[in-house]
Structure 1
Amino acid sequence: MKDISIKEKYEFYEDVFDNMPDALYVLDDKGNMIYVNYAMIKKFDIPRDELLRYNVFDMYDDGLIDYVISKNVYEQKKEVVMCQKIFNSHGKELMQMVSQMPILNDKGDIQYIIGVMRDMEELIGYYYDALNKYQTVKDIGSKRSDDNKLLVYNSPQMSDLIRILNNVAPTDANILVQGESGTGKEVLAEYIHQMSERRDKEMVRINCAAFPETLLESELFGYEKGSFTGALGSGKKGLIETADGSTLFLDEINSLPLALQGKILRTIETKMVQRIGSDRPKKIDFRLIAATNEDLSECIKKKTFRADLYYRLNVIPAIIPPLRDRPSDIEPLIEYFLNKYCKKYGKEKTFGPEAMNVLKNYSWPGNVRELKNFVERIVLISASSVYCIKSIPPQMLNGQLLSPSSSGNGGNSGCQFDIRMSLEENLNAFEKQIIESVVQQYGSGKSAAEVLRVNQSTISRKMAKYNISI
């Protein structure tokens, strides 16, 4: 087992306490401040070394607090929880909920007091946010159990769509799923399959845009041995045959070549499939679900899609609205993916009210796929000791973590020498600008430390020195 030095242990504990969302401080037996964490420094907006010169009774005399709670703790020798008004260096009044717990020595006398301070408004916000999340998780859980754990939604648009699909899923009617890229068309197709009488067999799926025309035909219809150069000696069963007794899902059917559209149409109408190189058609019992991210009526006008095939496919239209048009689905989806990726990567994360508000007001041009990838990314890059993600770097919502000016490509960093300041003062200003930029872009002190290749405790101390917040 690796030996850890006292210095390393100190830096580790300092990192842990500095990444706590609550203000934490330690008093000695006379009320002198002997430790404050980064959240405490931010709350009072007073540098660490200045706070550590304070006694709590002096803080009262200087008008920083309206009551000395530790006086009760010294008298009662037990934990005291009460409200307290504090005033930061700018005179702003903040109502806090404060918990102070004594640590007793062998004689039963108070040796230290540990204090934890939290903003009352923030605490109330977290309380209601937690209640809402609890109810959301319950709603998601009930819907997922009803829907074979496939769908997460809360919007009236999706509720109406699912109600219609529940009625038609047990039938063999063709369904055309329409929606922008990333809206979850394949997930919806799988849901329909699971709600059908064909659920005991796996749904057969193929992306029509993923194959060239010649290969797509052989994949769909199969071939007899010796049908063409490179064909398997035993021949091959096509995916339509494989879907016998099940569901065939044709994704991006708008990419289906015109030459194959007629053959697909005949297969749908006759439920007969004929392998390449064979003169014997075979009866196949399958249910067809197709999906498109284009407006097929426009494709018909452009003569890239057959009208008769469109009408055959579009017996039951299932249109998935983009995520921007159903904002009430955003939070349930975030909670679902957050829970999924926290379990996958062994993390514990939640989004604070401000961060969640940013996400709910984002347009999500990539729809559910973009949201899913975003949640996985932020679970991975946010500091492991940060439980509540309070802010979202704007760059993360457009797929970039670094702006061009900070990507190391020689662009102008924006640092300018100020002749009125000394070299040390200029260096401090440059250092602050660099750290502040990277912290904001990466969302945590830990991630910034990794990018800048320094110890996390160094970043924590610099953030406190320059009053940099996440």
Structure 2
Amino acid sequence: MEKHILNMVLDKIIETSNNNITITDHQGVILRSNPNHWSIYGIKADQYLGKSVYQLQKEGILSPSIHAMVLENKKTCQILQHTKTGKVVMATGFPIFDEKGNIVCVISYSQDQTEILNLQEEYERLQRKLVSYQTEVEELREKDAEQYGILFRSQSIEQIVKTIYRVSKTDATVLLLGPSGVGKSTFARMLHANSARKNEPFIEVNCSTIPETLFESEMFGYEAGSFTGANKQGKQGLIEQAKDGTLFLDEIGELPLSVQAKLLRVLQEKKVMRVGGKEERHINFRLIAATNQDIESMVEKGEFRLDLFYRVNIIPLHIPPLRERKEDIPILLQHYVKSINEKYQLSKKLHTTTYDLFTQYEWPGNVRELENILERVMLTTDEEIIYPEHLPATIKKEHLSETTTLPFIDHHIDEEHNLKKAVEQVEKRLLYKAMERCKTTYEMAKYLGISQPSIVRKLKQYSINMKEERKK
């Protein structure tokens, strides 16, 4: 192909390229370039052809020059240029060598990245805004959950709360599973309060408290004069009371099989016939059920109807026991200490070591047990600060160090096995140990996890003089 044709082809390639193609000689003088793209540098074609890239770099038009960089480093380079027009340009330069290894020319490709970078910045801004909104939503969820006594830091409870928010907008039946005391009724109330039925009744029924013989009359109601002792005007059943609202059947696993069959029909048809009545009443309600039993195991044993299980097990939510989410205990303690103080006009506080014992305890009764014990201790303790010595023996017992205490007791217990004397010996030993490590009675109190007045009282009881002991 003839040279002039090759030049025509080269010019057409440069002219039609989506990139700004620029070619310079070995001294950086511009030989060819795409004129349409130089507008991003703020100059016209007659202002760059035949000019040196070093001069354009000095004038701030090429900031910096990719060609100057390639000529200096003698290798392929890539940079971001910032132009006078406020554009950001990605430039890549390639050296072309002759057979002796000398640079004969440099070719570069430049592309305006301004729009892409702007889009990226906008995307990052939107991402930050989204994270901010998500954080606000999480905070609102936590505040909303706190209204019902649901306080948490654990991921397990956080996930349950998120699920409750999602399913509360539907009428899907929810089955709350978990041991006694985890707060299943509290979660049920939260679910109702965030549903479209929140302004309608929330009827809570503890299935374990209704005798089998009274189940129909209590749940379905009865007509006037339907049986001896019946109300003369008849009575509306619990299911009717839940009309347009939520029916919460707690401890549903306690229902006898005969009662389960009657309940199943109501759940399937949403129709109720009162005892002694002749007309069925259509009742629109949302069902939430709860149990602390292994209901699937009950189904296998024939203790719970399979068809009823399928009816209530639409969305199962497993609420873990407190021992499996101990990160929730400190915030629960803070909440209950505050509420109990407000309830009884107290100003009690928990010592740091008391917090530790509460956190380490297994809590077989879960949140309910924690609240009850805390209220009992705060009401029966005279001192303002609750120390470990004020806690029930069951909590303290779990955390006694047998490796340091029992050998000492075995060695020093007297021959008569007098419990009082053995306890005194242990207390005296611990007091002396505390004196070795602490300078004041306040430090001793913190070290032993009891109050400072208790330290003073015990030192006096055992005739221990700190000053005299320190002189020895």
TM band (smaller chain): 0.5 to 0.7
Bigger fraction of residues in helix: 2
Deviation sequence 1:155-178 (CA, Å, 0-9, x none): 000001111111001111111111
The percent identity for this pair of structures is 39
* Relative contact order, higher structure (CA 8 A, sep 6+): 1
Name the counterpart of 1:466.
462
Q: Provide the rounded CA distance (Å) in 1 between the counterparts of 2:174 and 2:302.
A: 22
The SS at the match of 2:170 is coil
Separation of aligned partners in 2, 1:141 and 1:434: 49
Q: Against the structure 1 CA distance between its residues 372 and 388, is the aligned structure 2 distance closer, same or farther, given a 3 Å change threshold?
A: closer
Cα 1:390/1:296, change in 2 over 3 Å:
closer
**Structure 2 residue 149 is matched with structure 1 residue 153:** no
Could you say which residue in structure 2 is the equivalent of 1:318? 317
Which structure 1 residue ranges, 5 or more long, are not aligned? 1-138, 401-413, 419-425, 437-456
One-letter code of the match for 2:143? S
Matching of residues 94-113 of structure 1 within 5 Å: none
Counterpart Cα distance in 2 of 1:267 and 1:213 = 17
| Larger Cα-atom Rg | 2
Alpha-carbon contact 1:143-1:149 (below 8 Å) kept: no
Q: Hey, what does 1:204 align to over in structure 2?
A: 203
Match of 1:288, as an amino acid? L
Deviations, residues 404-442 of structure 1 (Å, cap 9, x unaligned): xxxxxxxxxx99699xxxxxxx9x979967999xxxxxx
Structure 2 CA distance for partners of 1:417 and 1:316, relative to 1, 3 Å: closer
Q: Deviations over 1:31-64 (max 9, x none)?
A: xxxxxxxxxxxxxxxxxxxxxxxxxxxxxxxxxx
TM-score calculated relative to the size of structure 1: 0.56
Q: CA deviation at 1:255?
A: 0.9
SS in 2 for 1:333: helix
Work out the CA distance in 1 between the residues paired with 2:219 and 2:286. Answer: 15
Is 2:173 aligned against 1:174?
A: yes
SS at match of 1:147: helix
Per-residue CA distance 1:290-321 (angstroms, 9 max, x = gap): 11010111111221110000011011111100
Question: Residues 391 and 435 (structure 1 numbering): CA distance in 2 closer, same or farther, change over 3 Å?
Answer: closer
Structure 1 counterpart of 2:344: 345
AA aligned opposite 2:170: T
* Shift in CA distance, 331/210, structure 1 to aligned 2, threshold 3 Å: same
Q: Note closer, same or farther for the CA distance 1:388–1:375 as it changes in structure 2 (3 Å cut).
A: closer
Residue 251 of structure 1 aligns with which residue? 250
Query: Is the alpha carbon distance of 1:267 and 1:458 closer, same or farther for their aligned partners in structure 2, counting shifts above 3 Å?
Result: closer
Distance 1:276 1:357 in 2: 55
| Stretches of structure 2 lacking an aligned partner (at least 5 in a row) | 1-136, 399-411, 429-452, 465-472
- Corresponding residue of 1:305: 304
CA RMSD of aligned residues (A): 3.5
Q: How does 1:328-339 map to 2 (within 5 A)?
A: 328-339=327-338
Contact 1:271 1:283 in 2 (8 A): yes
How far apart, CA to CA, are the structure 1 residues paired with 2:389 and 2:138? 25
**Residue 270 of structure 1 pairs with residue 269 of structure 2:** yes
Verify: 1:387 aligned to 2:385, yes or no.
yes
Compared CA separation, residues 351 and 229, structure 1 to 2 (3 A) = same
| Residues 381 and 390 in structure 2, CA contact (< 8 A), matched pair in contact too | no
Would the aligned equivalents of 2:353 and 2:387 in 1 still touch at CA under 8 Å? no
Secondary structure of the structure 1 residue equivalent to 2:205: strand
Q: Tell me if the contact between 1:205 and 1:249 (Cα under 8 Å) persists in the aligned partners.
A: yes
Equivalenced residue count is 291
Q: Letter of the aligned partner of 1:387 in structure 2?
A: I
2-side partners of 1:339 and 1:328: how far apart?
19
CA distance in 2, matches of 1:368, 1:213: 30
- Displacement of 1:145: 2.6
User: Within 5 A, what are the aligned runs for 1:9-408?
Assistant: 144-147=142-145, 149-150=147-148, 151-384=150-383, 386-387=384-385, 389=387, 391=389, 393=391, 395-397=393-395
For residues 399 and 281 of structure 1, what CA distance do their matches in structure 2 show?
Answer: 59
Which amino acid in 1 is paired with 2:374?
V
Alpha-carbon contact 2:330-2:359 (below 8 Å) kept: yes
Which residue in 1 is equivalent to 2:60? none
Letter in 2 for 1:146: D
Cα deviation for residue 387 of structure 1 reads 2.9
Q: Conserved in 2, the CA contact under 8 Å of 1:140 and 1:153?
A: no
Q: Aligned partners of 1:273 and 1:398: how far apart in 2?
A: 53
1:258: Cα distance to partner?
1.1
TM-score scaled by structure 2? 0.56
User: Secondary structure of 2:188's partner?
Assistant: helix
Q: 1:341 to 1:399 in 2, by over 3 A?
A: farther
